[in-house]
Amino acid sequence: MKELVEFIAKRIVDDPDEVDVSEEETEDGKIVIRLNVADSDKGKVIGRRGHVAESIRTLLRVAGVKNGTRVTLEIP
């Protein structure tokens, strides 16, 4: 799932070299994916009213259901 987020983010931003994705599993079995991009690209990744970020989260939820896990996306 980390690869999915990285693939999408690198195609959206102007500076794909600054995309950093990390994946962490919590104690309760949930997967947290953190997406860090350059400050100038945060607006592109989040989108107007959060539509792009919500679309990425929806894709992650679907992928998580297929794997039987819960997935959360954080964009700090």
Domains of the chain, start order: 2-74 (3.30.300)
Residues contacting residue 46 through CB under 8 Å, at least 6 positions apart: 52, 53, 75
Q: What is the pLDDT of residue 67?
A: 86
Q: What is the pLDDT of residue 29?
A: 86
Q: State which residues of the chain have pLDDT below 70.
A: none
Q: What is the pLDDT of residue 73?
A: 94
- Side by side, which strands form the sheet with 20-25? 20-25, 31-36, 71-74
Q: What is the pLDDT of residue 9?
A: 94
Is residue 20 a contact partner of residue 75, using CB atoms and an 8 Å limit?
no
